[in-house]
Structure 1
Amino acid sequence: MESVRAVVYLSVCLSVLTSLCQGQRSVDNQPPSAPDEPLLRLTTRELAEALQGLLDEADSSLGLSVEKKASVIPRCDVGERCAMKHGPRIGRLCDCLRGTACNTFFLRCY
């Protein structure tokens, strides 16, 4: 019974000490109180210019556009030439629209 009473007294003393120490915290350890301060002391315009510079560098470093990739084949309408014959081989010029197919005899979309 006495051990329970000692634990209760000890917990009360610790809670009183922590509540007193909360008021004694230094100002340096507290988070900034003004949330409206700009991040890293930069204005919105400076941040936008920096972001634009990064995007320009990323565009120039990519080099390849979507049209130049080999996997992208342009679409052709019905009746347009969709392939060319190179001896025994047939080379595709464009991909026919949905519902149509490239006729290998006429080399046109039908």
Structure 2
Amino acid sequence: MDSSGMLRALLLVAVLCVTCRGQSSQEVSEEDSGLGRAGPAADRDLVAALQALLRGRSRDPSEEKRGSIALCGVGDRCAMKFGPRIGKLCDCGRGANCNSYLLRCI
């Protein structure tokens, strides 16, 4: 490409930039911004939904799971290998840990 072709291309890009810049709108409607007020009834509904959600999450899900897993004795199998993952069979008693290599309580 010769220098006059590059100059024409550069001039064309400059003209396009100048004309496109003037067409963009600076106004943002209330619907587009999401800042519009829905009213007090919608606010009350939102507060009620959030309170119901917080009441439902008051119980700790780990406590529910822990209650359903049986206790193992020392030397018992406490886990099972499923490919790259290890599944938990039971919890070791107090003072014992589940060895991830042997998969037994030690």
Structure showing the higher helix proportion among its residues: 2
Structure 1 or 2, whichever has the larger Rg, is 1
Structures share a fold, TM > 0.5? no
- Tell me the TM-score normalised to structure 2 length: 0.38
- Tell me the TM-score normalised to structure 1 length: 0.36
